[in-house]
Amino acid sequence: MTASALAIPCGKLSDKIGRKRVLVVGYLTFSLVYFGFALCKTKLLMALIFVIYGGYTAMTAGVERAFIAESAPPQLKGTMLGLHSMLAGIALLPASVIAGLLWDGIGAAAPFIFGGGLSLLSAVILALKLGDAAGMPKDSI
């Protein structure tokens, strides 16, 4: 419900301040959510974390696709969107295996800490290394 309620406002925000900035905040939100899942001790806090997770989804799902479409050469927009979906789908299997191994080998919090750390790293890389969409020069947020 949160993702549905925030999808249009987050899309409009990305139109106004730039896709990259919204994605960085989205990935940081994901990181905080996953760290929250790892450390959560109460049902009320868990419910709040799920609400915030919806905010992450609203900040990333459509904005990622728009970023890709604007970054791709005109003749490859569909190909790049398809490639993104394919790679995300392929990555789910090893990600799930790693999460299962961490859960079994270390504990229930381990896959969430690992995922939160990777999302934090992704946010930093996006903020510092990747240019904005539509061929704009590289900059930090």
Give the start-to-end residue ranges of the domains of the chain: 2-129
pLDDT at residue 106, rounded to an integer = 97
- Is the pLDDT confidence value at 141 over 60? no
| Mean model confidence pLDDT for the chain | 91
Q: What is the pTM of this model?
A: 0.85
User: Domain 2-129 classified CATH 3.20.20.70?
Assistant: no
C-beta pairs of 97-103 under 8 Å, 24+ apart in sequence: none
Which of these, 49, 51, 12, 14, lies nearest to 34 by C-alpha position? 49
- What pLDDT digit, counting tens, does each position of 65-111 carry? 999 999 899 999 999 999 999 999 999 999 999 999 999 999 999 99
pLDDT confidence band for 131 (50 / 70 / 90): low
* Measured CA distances, 31 to 3, 41, 53, 72 (Å): 17, 18, 10, 27
With cut-offs at 50, 70 and 90, classify the pLDDT of residue 129.
confident
CA distance 131 to 109: 34
* pLDDT tens digits, one per residue of 43-68: 999 999 999 999 999 999 999 999 99
